[in-house]
Amino acid sequence: MTPEPDWQALTDLDARVVWFPVRHHSPTCARLVTKLIRQMRPAVTLIEGPSDFNDRIDELFLGHDLPIAIYSYTRRSDGQRRGAYYPYCSYSPEWQAIQTSREQEAAVRFIDLPWAEMASLDDASHRYADAELRRGRYVRQLCERFGVEDFDDLWDRLVETQPDLSLADYLERVHQFCGHVRLWEEEISQSDLRREAFMAAGIERALEEFEGRVLVVTGGFHSSALCDWLNGRQEADSTEPAEVDAEPEPMPVERGIALTPYSYEQLDSLSGYNAGMPSPGFYHQVWHDRKQGGEFSYRPLLARVAQALRKRKQVVSTADLIAVETMARALASLRGRTTVWRRDLLDAVTGALVKEELEYGCDSPFLEEVLRVFRGRRRGRLADGAQLPPLVENIRQLLAEHDLVPGRKCERELNLLEPGDLAKSRVLHRLRILEIGGFRRIDGTDFAVRDDLVRLWELWQIGWTPNYDASSIEASRYGTTLDEAATARLVERATGDSHTADELAGILLDAAFAGVEVLTPELIDRLEQQIHQHGEFAAVAGTLRHLLFLYSYDEALGTAGSSQLGQLLREAFTRAAWLLEGLGQSGGQDQQLIEGIRVLVETFELTEHMLDLNREEFLGVLSRVEADHDQLPSIRGAAVGGLWSLHAADTEQVLADLLLFSDVDHLGDFLTGLFHLAREVAQRNPQLVRNIDELLLSFSGDDFLQALPSLRLSFTSFTPREKHHMLTTLFDSLGIREMQPLHALEVDSATAAEALAFEDRLYRTLRKYGIRGADQ
């Protein structure tokens, strides 16, 4: 059970160690910690932050444009690559503590456990989030007591809306609040306990190293625990896991840390365990106004909302703005505030301007614009002198080498048959795989559909974007060079649960676009695992189709004959053949399944000897599918068509199967499968076309009308020229040497079939009643 905090020690401003609790990105915390440092003049300020950045802490004084973040990244022993951020904006208390301490000539140290060493225990990628303070019964009960909606409103009520809050009152209020949040916690996480043990050890080292006073700036949730550690009230073994037999956690095998640009949009988009202070643009205005010595004014924000709405052609009159302001002031007064605040403005806009939209569940442009203005548009930029990861330097070198350095937005067309352009394409695709800002493929040959391969080209849009630097730095978790990083990203995408056919195809095509250099054994192994784990025949066959193209035909991308792709192709072929034999009846997927069988047969025809495929085994699979009485007619037709095209079935066997499916309901489906797999041999076989003709002539008009849709579908496998050849083959087999010209129908085939069916019914009725003309 968590002990009662030592409230006196926590709030003692005269003690050697002063505990300053913060909510990350709080303007009031930032203002008061600045004031405290100037009054206290500590020998050292210890801050909750990544201790593995201490040897580079001088980079924080280079004059960056805020917001920025410290980005920590790691590759663990289980192969996972992850990154986490420690963001800083102008009103972050940690940032103000860092800058003011340097101003007062105090040393600055980060004391938190390096993120790489706790990544397996903590999923939060935003290291200055409020997860600990947001959760729990204590916060819920306080929200109910104060009549506020959530933790953000509660914090505003207790802290941010109190411009005259003194240091002593702040420490008393925030330590009491955060301490009770912790007291009411049912269990403290192992991650928090490990971090606190590490931070406590850092404080003890600082007390030995420095003779003067020490200021400790941490999240309020940790302050009481750290104070207890220092005063001997926290047991050292409380950081040990409860289950000693638990599996060992994956350890970091690679790690890195660097500064990166950040943005208010990134701060505001966080949620769940990553949630922090919302609406950074709003709180930036609060910080700015109070730093200038004045009161916070909401009117500049409201004016920006009005301007933005008018730019969007949204009608907002002066009367509307007056209504919003009047309602906001009334709400603030009702809530006991002396100034209009964030929640008051949001509710006032909703009440005064948003009318029908919310009632009907629609988005409101007014509310959207308020939230956008409250979010702010600030985006950070690193100053010269910041140490950058090796990947960033490698990217810059390659872009310069290939004349692809992003500047003003432009378009570049590449001919993939030209070696120089192909090399440029591979660099650009590796950047795209890593989601580096500023590079976008906007047109070109579609290698997924492959409907037009006459011209092999790409069109890229290249231009500097604000997130170019940040995305390059953040991609460093994947490797130190561009090809290594692209490979690692593809490996990551290929890891995990079974992927859809489109996802696997995307990974394969991206690997081909990026160049054979990225087809490392690890990536091949992951893709093999995905293929082997997949349980859907159509999905694996779809992957097989892409592999076959890349292996057999694709000279442009340099993948034809690749031994790595050959290995994958063999695995996909074997898996697809196995799944085909166990295929049940899958209604509504006939075309996908037939196409899958066609790809299997084509793969066997093209690579039987190159990949040493077992002919006897594959023909056995097709034979068993063809003889399966429980299988769909279309699948059995495709199976016998595959056997026929591979010279493993003769005409007699095909005709025997045709008779099995000669009824109205099944003939068209059987022929669809047969024609799709044996198009060449079918159109030239007189016995087959004559038997089909005899079957169709035996149908009544109504039967023919019923069979027509599936029959029409089956003949779509043939081109008009091939259909004409089939007709010639039929006439030759019937001894008709001179074909009469065929007149074009003045109606469509469906209408003609309906007319024939009506005529057939008419003649049957005439015959039934012995009426003259029935034999015409």
Q: Are residues 316 and 442 in the same domain?
A: no
Is there a domain that residue 642 lies in? yes
- Paired with 459 in beta bridges are 413, 443
708 and 764: one domain?
A: no
CA distances for 580 relative to 549, 572, 598, 638, angstroms: 21, 12, 12, 12
Residue 291 within a domain: no
pLDDT of res. 633? 93
Lowest mean pLDDT among 184-198, 460-474, 504-518: 504-518
Q: What is residue 26's predicted lDDT score, i.e. its pLDDT? A: 95
Q: Which of 98-102, 374-378, 706-710 has the lowest mean pLDDT?
A: 706-710
Burial class (CB in 10 A: 0-12, 13-18, 19+), 158: buried
Q: Are residues 403 and 341 in the same domain?
A: no
Q: Is 735 in the same domain as 760?
A: no
Which of 345, 375, 405 marks a domain boundary? 375
Same domain for 258 and 339? no
> Average pLDDT of the chain?
86
Q: How many domains does the chain have?
A: 5
Residue 378: pLDDT band (50, 70, 90) is very high
Q: DSSP state, 272?
A: G
Instruction: Please indicate, yes or no, whether residues 723 and 702 belong to a single structural domain of this protein.
Output: yes
Query: pLDDT (tens digit, 9 = 90+) per residue, 409-468?
Result: 999 999 988 999 999 999 999 999 999 999 999 999 887 767 667 788 999 999 999 889
Residue 384 counted as domain residue: no
Q: What percent of the chain has pLDDT over 70?
A: 87
pLDDT of residue 555: 67
Q: Is residue 279 part of a domain?
A: no
Residue 579 in any domain: the answer is no
**276-323: pLDDT as tens digits:** 788 999 999 999 999 998 899 999 998 888 888 888 887 778 888 899
Which among 605, 618, 546, 608 is positioned nearest to 575, based on CA atoms? 618
233 and 167 within one domain: yes
Q: With bands split at pLDDT 50, 70 and 90, how would you rate the model's confidence at 644?
A: very high
What six digits make up the tokens of 416? 């993939």
State mean pLDDT over 483-506. 81
The pLDDT, as a whole number, for residue 29 is 97
Band (pLDDT 50/70/90 cuts) for residue 271 is low
Helix (H, G, I), strand (E, B) or coil at 212: coil
Summarize pLDDT for 454-466 with one digit per residue, the tens.
788 999 999 999 8
Q: Is residue 564 very low, low, confident or very high in pLDDT (cuts 50, 70, 90)? A: confident
Q: Which helix (H) or strand (E) holds 457?
A: strand 457-462
pLDDT at 241: 38
**Does 639 map to a domain?**
yes
What does the pLDDT read at residue 733? 76
For the segment 156-177, the average pLDDT, to the nearest whole number, is 95
Domain assignment present for residue 204? The answer is yes
Which amino acid does the sequence have at 523?
L
Is residue 87 predicted with pLDDT exceeding 70? yes
Give the tens place of pLDDT for each residue, 499-516: 776 677 788 888 888 986
The pLDDT-based confidence of 246 (bands split at 50, 70, 90) is very low
Q: Which pLDDT belongs to residue 2? A: 63
Per-residue pLDDT of 537-546, as tens digits, reads 988 898 898 8
Report whether pLDDT(774) > 70. Answer: no
Residue-wise pLDDT tens digits, 569-619: 999 999 999 999 988 766 668 888 999 999 999 999 999 999 999 999 999
Among the residue ranges 243-252, 481-490, 681-690, 748-757, the one predicted with the least confidence is 243-252
pLDDT at 245: 40
Return the pLDDT at 12. 95
Contact predicate 281/375, CB 8 Å: yes
Which one has a higher pLDDT value, 587 or 406? 406
Q: What is the pLDDT of residue 248?
A: 53
- Contacts of residue 236, defined as CB under 8 A and 6 or more positions apart, other chains included, come to 197
Mean pLDDT on 256-261: 95
Q: Are residues 740 and 757 in the same domain?
A: no
Residue 244 shares a structural domain with residue 326: no
Q: Is the pLDDT of residue 240 over 50?
A: no
Question: Mean of the pLDDT values across residues 517-539?
Answer: 81
In the predicted structure, residue 361 carries a pLDDT above the cut 90? no
Q: Could you list the residue range(s) of the whole structural domain that residue 345 is in?
A: 297-375
Give the confidence band of 243 by pLDDT, cuts at 50, 70, 90. Answer: very low
Structure tokens that stand for 81 in this block: 């690559």
pLDDT band at 746 (very low <50, low <70, confident <90, very high): low
Among 239, 273, 307, the domain-final residue is 273
Structural contact between residues 86 and 127, judged by C-beta atoms closer than 8 angstroms: yes
Q: Output 732 or 331, whichever has higher pLDDT.
A: 331
Those residues with Cβ within 8 angstroms of residue 590's Cβ, 6 or more apart along the chain or in another chain: 632, 634, 635, 669, 672, 673
Helix (H) or strand (E) holding 345: helix 342-352
d(C-alpha 766, C-alpha 761), whole Å: 9
Regarding whether 735 and 757 lie in a shared domain, the answer is: no
Q: Are strands 439-444 and 457-462 parallel, antiparallel or unpaired?
A: antiparallel
**Is 578 part of any domain?**
no
Task: Decide if pLDDT at 742 tops 60.
Answer: no
CA distances (Å), origin 509, targets 490, 527, 694: 11, 12, 47
pLDDT value of residue 236: 42
- Residues with Cβ within 8 Å of 326's Cβ and at least 6 positions away in sequence, in order, are none
Task: Find the mean pLDDT for residues 185-195.
Answer: 87
pLDDT value of residue 772:
60
Last residue of a domain, one of 438, 456, 478: 478
Please tell me the predicted confidence (pLDDT) of residue 716.
Answer: 85
Whether residues 29 and 168 share a domain: the answer is yes
- The mean per-residue pLDDT over the stretch 714-723 comes to 83
Q: Tell me, what amino acid is at 517? A: E
Q: Are 66 and 72 in contact (CB under 8 A)?
A: no
Say if CB 352 and CB 324 are below 8 A apart. Answer: yes
351 plus 417 within the same structural domain: no
DSSP for 37-102, please give it.
Answer: HHHH--SEEEEEEEGGGGGGGGGGGS-PBSPEEEEEEEEETTS-EEEEEEEE-TT-HHHHHHHHHH
**How many other CB atoms sit within 10 Å of the CB of residue 41?**
14
d(CA 727, CA 74): 68
**Spatial CB neighbours of 633, under 8 Å, sequence gap ≥ 6:** 661, 666, 669, 670, 673
Percent of the chain with pLDDT over 90: 52
Q: pLDDT per residue over 97-129, tens digit each?
A: 999 999 999 999 999 999 988 877 776 777 888
